Structure 1
């Protein structure tokens, strides 16, 4: 299968590209620059120049492929609403290009869209009070494409997709700990973050591409819920820093933009996903990754 991948040079997307190539698929990867194109070629993929806000380029990429995996997202949390708007219009453009073809379109979403304080399941819909609720429109748009002749599906990812090369939430927490001289958690630290290794997530995207029926929702979850206090303690131990509770009132000052996300309690299950696709996580857990020292080199 020839697969168009957005975010193909990103932390998750590059793992997806390698997973697809190893499984015998061809990859057409979205590239915003010459350096991105060179990276794709070095990996064995074909570059396709464009960007998330270049809708004609997205449509051409989708039309040139047998299926699409959409992993790209502009992670600018200072302008999160604008990033969500861009994501929504990109999904709509990909859907327009695939309408009536019954080709697969796998769209990335987030576990943090679900209701807090309970174990989220694949059958759960986005909560109106979720941390990333603006991104719920993307979920709805992707699932609606099933009625337009697109084999669309969702892969919800946890707050922490970890592994070598991670530059998201966990490295941000490490940087905050270094700058403050203390590894913090919010309140009692019993709120839980699910997690998954990037290579396990990549395999799930491939399986969804190959097998998912239209309208399916999957959870890329390895760890169902790691207490944030445990994460803070692992970081503190590695950096030889004290571990401290930060009050909810002080969280924004201490953690900055990350405080909103580090406060969520969104444990999640992948039981339905594992049963439906025969997928199971086989790589390191988040705790094992932090204990290995790779995040502190």
Structure 2
């Protein structure tokens, strides 16, 4: 079976390709980064350089494919609305059009950031997502993309994976480690807020399970490692493996929030693309607990994490140390 994978040259893409290849799938790796794309090519993977806002590219790339895993997205906490709209909304609309015309199954990588808010949320289920959330443009665009898919006639499954980390991550863990080096990591509740993170290998596995599932259609699933953990505890795991000290700063949430809100307004007013020093979304992550219920994925997809958080941390740190020795 041949699968079209959008976002193939991104962090998650490489792991999805490996998961599919190891289970005898042919993959059309669709993405914009030709340099990375060429490194993916082998007897089971062909690379198609294209844009998801170009329907012709999608029609050509999907030739002879049986299904689409749509992982391409502008995934950042800040930017201009038109950029998020063009990639995350129009891009998804194009994917849906191609899938409907060719009668292809669609597995869509959404985001549990759509649950985000200024409150503690524990054991959140899929149907508890708000219909609207304007906390940032990424969240807004992901909700719109989900709604486009829900309004279609497709055989689809939507996956909401939380806090991906692993070798090749350029976002969550590297940012925190760099922040620790520069100034220290801000804590608002002594780092006791509970969070969910997910080994990227487990997310790739869940996407294959969604692809292969014949019994359930037009469903949404949360995906995590199923190991809720305190924010400071996960940092301590990393620092212990790295044999380094964690530096922490105690910040006053009630003082920081007005400043962050003001900065966001200024950045939006002047259409500044560069991310502010801190956003409300990031602030909420560092103040409030949020854990997801994955019972539905366990029951209906047969999902059970293949890699524990500790294993993921050890792999990440070991790889980082090897790279440090080489450089």
Q: Which TM-score applies when normalising by structure 1? A: 0.86
Q: Based on CA coordinates, which of the two structures has the bigger radius of gyration? A: 2
Question: Using the alignment, how far apart are the partners of 1:111 and 1:178 within structure 2?
Answer: 29
Q: In the superposition, relative to structure 1, how do residues 13 and 218 fare at CA in structure 2: closer, same or farther (>3 Å)?
A: same
- CA distance in 2 between counterparts of 1:33 and 1:133 reads 24
TM-superposed deviation, 1:291: 5.6
Q: In the alignment, is the contact (CA less than 8 A) between 1:114 and 1:130 conserved in 2?
A: no
Matches within 5 A, 1:56-71: 56-71=56-71
Q: Which moved more, 1:12-21 or 1:61-70?
A: 61-70
1:10 matched residue in structure 2: 10
Which residue of 1 is the match for residue 297 of structure 2?
273
Question: Distance in 2 between the 1:141 and 1:154 partners?
Answer: 12
User: Cα deviations across residues 93-148 of structure 1 (Å, max 9, x unaligned)?
Assistant: 01111115442111111122126523111333335347553121111112222xx2
Contact 1:18 1:43 (8 Å CA) reproduced: no
Which residue in the other structure is 1:161 paired with?
164
Q: Secondary structure at the match of 1:78?
A: coil
Q: Deviations over 1:125-179 (max 9, x none)?
A: 335347553121111112222xx2x211101010x21122211212111111111
Q: Can you give the 5+ residue segments of structure 1 that lack an aligned partner in the other structure?
A: none
What CA deviation, in whole Å up to 9, does each residue of 1:222-263 have, x standing for no partner?
135322232344455543133233222337599634445444
Do structure 1's residue 128 and structure 2's residue 129 form an aligned pair?
no
Determine the C-alpha separation between the residues in 2 that align with 1:80 and 1:261. Answer: 22
Q: In structure 2, how many angstroms separate the alpha carbons of the residues matched to 1:34 and 1:278?
A: 35
Q: Secondary structure at the match of 2:125?
A: coil
More divergent stretch after superposition (13-22 vs 118-127):
118-127
**CA 1:82–1:193 in 2, change beyond 3 Å: closer, same or farther?**
farther
Paired with 2:80 and 2:238, the residues of 1 have a C-alpha distance of: 27
User: Is 1:193 paired with 2:216?
Assistant: no
Unpaired runs of at least 5, structure 2: 264-275, 322-327
Distance 1:193 1:63, change over 3 A: farther
SS of structure 2 residue aligned to 1:8: coil
Partners of 2:196 and 2:229 within 8 A in 1: yes
| Residue of structure 2 equivalent to 1:256 | 278
Indicate conservation of the 8 Å contact 2:52/2:94, yes or no. no
SS at match of 2:308: coil
Give the equivalent residue in structure 2 for 1:289: 312
Q: What is the TM-score with the length of structure 2 in the denominator?
A: 0.79
Aligned length: 291
